[in-house]
Chains A and B, each alone.
Chain A
Amino acid sequence: MANTVLLLLISLSFSGGLIVLLIFFICLLFQKKIGWQWQYYIWLVVIARLLLPFSPEQNLMGSLVERIYSFEQDYETDLAKNASGSSNEDDASLSDKDKETEVIKNAGEEGDKIGKLQNKVLKAVPETGKYLCIFWLIIVMFLLIRKITIYQSFVRFVKAGSTQVDDITYLETLAKEEIDLGIRKAVDLWINPIISSPMLIGFSHPCIVLPDNDLSEKEFHYTILHELVHYKRRDMYYKWIAQVVLCIHWFNPLIYFAARKINRFCELSCDEVVVKRLQSDDECREYAGTLLNAMASKGAFKERIASLTLSEDKKLLKERMEEIMNGRTRKYTVGKRILSVVLTMGIILTSFFAGSYTVGASNNDDMTISNMKISKQLKERSKSKKITAKQADKMALALTNKIWVWEWVEFFVPYMTDDGAKKLVSASLNSEWAGSVDMTTGKEMKFTQKQVDAARKEKPSGKLTSGDIDDHALMIMQSNGNWECVSFMLPYMTRKGIRSVVSCYNSKHGDDEKRAKDYY
């Protein structure tokens, strides 16, 4: 469970990060071509990607996770190879035959060691996964609670020091502006000299707080217009959702970057809306002047988390000034509209397919990485798949190691690699268990190089598929009923094949001790 959560979280964070970079570069590329509003709202895609673990069956993160697992497996086989290679050189004095057996022994030991190590790692992973998960959750809770309490105490502090604006002309201007913008809720108006710039606070009782009341009529008008546009667009909800996402993905620096971008585009796009409502260039100039004055005001108290201030910092202010002055000349042609629609679709699709490591694949709550690996492999194995030469080697050697019946092993030989085929004879000599016995002489019938060579000469008619493994495993199960003689083939079989082998086993052993589901 813990691992599923972690994997999901990391894959979400990773694909979210990719979308952050994608959007950032698109914004950089088309900055002058697309409206600020688009550049502001497009980040909602990132937020959706980071919060919602839905994605199609085939997605980037899913296949990435798979790729990492298969890489792990390749690494393990490489390790085994290296181990056998080195022992080969060391034991130069031994005779050829001895050497060969030695190699296989060593390889086997190495394999065992690796197997044990792997087991240890797999056992350790769920444990560390659990602790990591708890650690992550504690940080999330801490950050969330801290943000909320800071905001609450800030609001309380600002309210406590505020006086309500009683002047009815100000209230009337505010109310008229609300009608113009189509705001139904009445926004209150306060003054608090302690704050550094005008701001909008409160969710259920929204309130514009001004730093002082010696604003000219026009300045007042522009100030409340700006704040009311923030309110109308529900910017405080947007900012808070961004903050929540930030708390969840606190370990991802790209998300902090995105949150900063959202703040920037929030102000720029708010100005864009305001400028569109202004009548002349003079008014734009006055609006820009109001921003500057707000910046120069005396109050020192600033709150960055989630209040919407008129001006946030100087660098941004400069950019906003330029945009306000250019804003009226900026026209959005049909071509630019189409561009923004195309980009939006592109980004949404990309983010959908960037995906996450979805949990939908399995209902098992206690899914550890090891059985995730298997279930992932098996998910694709409902259809018959090609078996590689290396996989054929693995099965043939495993089978020989258990039971040296030439007819059973011969089946694999034409499909094996040269290296694999060479190991067969010595493997049968070192086999753990029993094998074919000549009924007349009572002698064990170990494999001979002749047999192997003869079988190698036969050219296979087609590729080996998991369907063939199904038949072969069933045949072995029917003949000797021993689970361990087929268990290593299960990962290469189809679900159907697994079901028939399991039911064969159960019928031989008279009870239903095994369930096919466990091996999917």
Chain B
Amino acid sequence: MNKKISDAELEIMKVIWESDSPLLFACIMKALEKNGISWQKNTLITLLSRLMEKGYLKANKRGRKNEYAPLVTSEEFQSVQTKDFVDRIYKGNVSGLITQLVSSDMLTETEYDELRKILEVK
């Protein structure tokens, strides 16, 4: 799970996270095409098997076909990635990140209110 993921692999994970149920190979292919990505079949097979090896995906047999389901939710993935990002860029200092977000006007008014509410509850 904490293993690095490539951009191409992330595209596949996004497609799978968007779906509520496990996806067949052909469905992943189609969904990627919708996102403007058309790969060779074997490229996708290689990337899927790499994701399985890294523990992001699992494949269940449905008849003779494989059905791919995520082992990691997008939230889990985001929190791990954010933590990694904060560790690397802000040396683990979260307030540094928030200060940066606020001071460089990256947050809208509503987002700022949401953030405040979360902080108050905790």
Cβ-based interface call for A164 (8 A): yes
Question: Is the beta-carbon distance between A179 and B46 smaller than 8 angstroms?
Answer: no
Cβ 8 A contact of B43, one of A164, A175, A185: A175
Using Cβ atoms and an 8 Å threshold, which residues of chain A touch B39?
Answer: 168, 171-172, 175
Using Cβ atoms and an 8 Å threshold, which residues of chain A touch B62?
Answer: none
Instruction: Say how far B8's CB is from chain A's closest CB, in angstroms.
Output: 5
Q: Chain B 20-59 against A: per-residue CB contact (8 Å), 1 yes, 0 no? A: 0000000000000000000111110111011000000000
Among A176, A187, A188, max chain B CB count under 10 A is at A188
Cβ-based interface call for A189 (8 A): yes
Closest to A175 in B: B40
Alpha-carbon gap, A188 to B54, bound state (A):
14
Using Cβ atoms and an 8 Å threshold, which residues of chain B touch A187?
Answer: 42, 46
Using Cβ atoms and an 8 Å threshold, which residues of chain B touch A179?
Answer: 40, 42
Closest to B6 in A: A166
Cβ-based interface call for B114 (8 A): no
Instruction: Say how far A182's CB is from chain B's closest CB, in angstroms.
Output: 12
Question: Is the beta-carbon distance between B40 and A176 smaller than 8 angstroms?
Answer: yes
Cβ-based interface call for A470 (8 A): no
Cβ-based interface call for B7 (8 A): yes
Interface size of A by CB at 8 A reads 16
Question: Is the beta-carbon distance between A186 and B46 smaller than 8 angstroms?
Answer: yes
Q: Chain A 416-434 against B: per-residue CB contact (8 Å), 1 yes, 0 no? A: 0000000000000000000
Q: Chain A 180-197 against B: per-residue CB contact (8 Å), 1 yes, 0 no? A: 000001111100000000
Cβ-based interface call for A174 (8 A): yes
Q: Chain A 276-299 against B: per-residue CB contact (8 Å), 1 yes, 0 no? A: 000000000000000000000000
Cβ 8 A contact of A168, one of B8, B42, B49, B50: B8
Residues 392-428 of A contacting B (Cβ, < 8 Å): none
Question: Is the beta-carbon distance between A166 and B42 smaller than 8 angstroms?
Answer: no
For the complex of A and B, the 8 pairs showing the least CB-CB separation, nearest first, are A175-B40, A166-B6, A186-B45, A175-B42, A186-B42, A175-B43, A186-B46, A171-B43
9 more A-B contacts (CB under 8 A) besides A168-B8, A185-B42, A187-B42? A166-B6, A166-B9, A175-B39, A175-B40, A175-B46, A176-B40, A179-B42, A186-B41, A205-B49
